[in-house]
């Protein structure tokens, strides 16, 4: 009798287990039809997307999402991962686009820091060009370099070429003759004092790094309508943004560059253009912790950039809905262009679990606005081919 009871119990448990398995698989294999900011975002393999600090490149109706492959910690153990999608909701893991190197002498050796990769296409050389923030192994964030790699396919593999401290030996276009002259007190100033702030705004670190090249940490890329490309990066000890023109092949700097918001402490730049106006979203400077985003606009890429305040509106806008900007994606549909704010909700205790905050960005009264949505869809269910 007792045995029959056990068999019955076993069969019931088995049936229940199979039922649960069936439903969870059915749920997993269902296609995503909307964005759910901050939720686990499973790829077509049912794994949380691992493409942090990302950027998107679109070609022939296929979107490629490049981002930092994170482990529990933030050092590059793998490299840059790439996912593909035709609808922006469902992403297929296409593998590692740029691998960290096994060679201990390589600048991108495993254990270096590879952050915020962005990819653009160069018509002339027919190269896909990736730039990323690079910190050399064992040096924390001291190196402050930007690295470049190329590939003949958007899927990679990308081949690492070199890294830069941008614009060595070149003064910014918005720098006066006076500002080029060092002052005796330059090296003696104590951080955060009023004298230091004034000196910083007047180019203290531009002068310090003139010969070796300017620091480059959080960065993004932007290609203008005429094909000119720009590298936008946090420089001067993260106190000032620089916008620098890239050479025709997008693999180096022309030496034409400008300072944006000297002493403004802008990080995480994301830039887009609507009509003839350039817009930029940035964050403040609080590491992995979120802070109020900032927004700017300009009629020339080199500025002046007008400050428009925090684009995030409503509850939790003071921490940008617990996110930090990484990219603004224009989505061109049959009737319109809409914009997606892409941000990272970092999880420094377990980086691989960092979440993605994608929200609609609208321009209202000439200002970018981002509002929270628990779930949302693009206006047209399928973007234009």
CB 74 within 8 A of CB 348: yes
d(CA 254, CA 176): 20
Alpha-carbon Rg for the chain in angstroms: 23
The answer for residues whose C-beta is within 8 angstroms of residue 291's C-beta and 6 or more apart is: 283, 284, 285, 319, 320, 324
Q: Residues 64 to 103: which contact ligand GAL by CB under 6 A?
A: none
- Residue 121 CB contacts under 8 Å (≥ 6 apart), including other chains: 57, 59, 127, 128, 129, 154
Among 218, 236, 245, 369, binds ligand GAL (CB under 6 A): 218
Using CB under 6 A, pick the residue from 288, 319, 353, 378 that binds ligand GAL.
288
The least CB distance from residue 52 to ligand GAL, in Å, is 9
User: Alpha-carbon distance 226 to 236, whole Å?
Assistant: 29
CA angle 318, 320, 321 (to 5 degrees): 105
Nearer to ligand GAL, 70 or 207 (CB): 70
As a whole number of angstroms, the distance between CA 351 and CA 77 comes to: 12
Comparing CB distances to ligand GAL, the nearer of 209 and 267 is 267
Say how many C-beta atoms besides its own lie within 10 A of residue 298's C-beta: 18
Site for ligand GAL in 313-342 (CB under 6 A): 324
Residues between 174 and 213 with contacts to ligand GAL, criterion CB under 6 A = none
Among 339, 383, 320, 376, residue whose Cα is nearest residue 39: 376
Number of residues that bind ligand GAL (CB under 6 A): 9
Closer residue to ligand GAL (CB): 172 or 354: 354
Nearer to ligand GAL, 108 or 199 (CB): 108
Near ligand GAL by CB under 6 A: residue from 56, 229, 268, 281: 268
Q: How far is CA 17 from the centre of its chain?
A: 42
Looking at 17, 138, 227, 287, which residue binds ligand GAL (CB under 6 A)?
A: 287
236 interacts with ligand GAL by CB under 6 A: no
115 binds ligand GAL (CB under 6 A): yes
Q: By C-alpha distance, which of 351, 306, 340 is closest to 67?
A: 351
Q: Does 267 bind ligand GAL (CB under 6 A)?
A: yes
Chain-centroid distance of CA 204 in Å reads: 28
Q: Which is nearer to ligand GAL, 53 or 147 (CB)?
A: 53
Q: Please state the closest distance from residue 173 (CB atom) to ligand GAL, in A.
A: 26
Residue among 166 and 383 whose Cβ is closer to ligand GAL: 166
Tell me how far, at minimum, the Cβ of 67 lies from ligand GAL, in Å: 11
Q: By C-beta, is 302 or 321 nearer to ligand GAL?
A: 321
Give the residue nearest to ligand GAL (CB). Answer: 287
Nearer to ligand GAL, 210 or 288 (CB): 288
Give whichever of 121 and 288 is closer to ligand GAL, judged by the CB atom: 288
The DSSP secondary-structure symbol of 179 reads: G
Minimum CB separation of residue 8 from ligand GAL in Å reads: 57
DSSP secondary structure, 89-132, as one string: SS-EEEEEEEEPBS-TTSTTBTTSEEEEEEEEEETTTTEEEEEE
Residue 113: CB minimum distance to ligand GAL, A:
7
User: Which residues of this protein are in contact with ligand GAL, per CB under 6 A?
Assistant: 53, 115-116, 218, 267-268, 287-288, 324
């Amino acid at each position: 009798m007792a045995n029959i009871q056990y068999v019955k119990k076993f069969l019931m448990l088995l049936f229940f287990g199979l039922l649960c398995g069936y439903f969870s698989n059915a749920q997993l294999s269902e296609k995503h039809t909307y964005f759910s900011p901050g939720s686990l975002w499973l790829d077509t393999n049912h794994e949380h997307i691992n493409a942090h600090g990302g950027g998107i490149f679109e070609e022939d109706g296929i979107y490629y999402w490049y981002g930092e492959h994170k482990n529990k910690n933030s050092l590059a153990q793998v490299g840059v991962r790439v996912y593909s999608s035709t609808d922006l909701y469902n992403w297929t893991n296409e593998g590692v686009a740029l691998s960290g190197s096994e060679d201990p002498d390589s600048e991108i050796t495993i254990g270096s820091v590879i952050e915020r990769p962005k990819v653009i296409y160069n018509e002339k050389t027919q190269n896909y060009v990736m730039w990323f923030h690079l910190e050399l192994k064992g040096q924390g964030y001291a190196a402050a370099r930007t690295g470049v790699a190329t590939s003949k396919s958007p899927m990679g593999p990308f081949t690492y070429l070199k890294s830069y401290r941008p614009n060595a030996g070149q003064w910014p276009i918005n720098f006066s003759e006076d500002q080029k002259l060092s002052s005796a007190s330059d090296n003696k100033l104590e951080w955060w004092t009023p004298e230091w702030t004034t000196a910083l705004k007047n180019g203290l670190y531009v002068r310090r790094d003139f010969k070796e090249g300017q620091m480059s940490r959080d960065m993004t890329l932007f290609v203008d309508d005429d094909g000119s490309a720009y590298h936008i990066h946090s420089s001067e000890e993260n106190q000032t943004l620089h916008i620098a023109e890239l050479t025709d092949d997008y693999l180096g700097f022309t030496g034409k560059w400008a300072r944006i918001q000297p002493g403004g402490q802008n990080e995480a730049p994301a830039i887009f253009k609507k009509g003839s106006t350039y817009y930029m979203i940035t964050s403040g400077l609080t590491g992995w912790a979120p802070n109020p985003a900032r927004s700017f606009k300009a009629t020339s890429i080199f500025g002046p950039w007008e400050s428009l305040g925090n684009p995030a509106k409503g509850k939790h806008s003071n921490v940008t809905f617990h996110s930090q900007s990484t990219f603004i994606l224009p989505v061109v549909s049959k009737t319109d262009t809409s914009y997606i704010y892409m941000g990272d909700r970092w999880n420094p205790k377990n980086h691989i679990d960092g979440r993605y905050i994608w929200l609609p960005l609208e321009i209202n009264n000439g200002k970018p606005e981002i509002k929270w949505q628990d779930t949302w869809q693009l206006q047209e269910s399928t973007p234009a081919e």
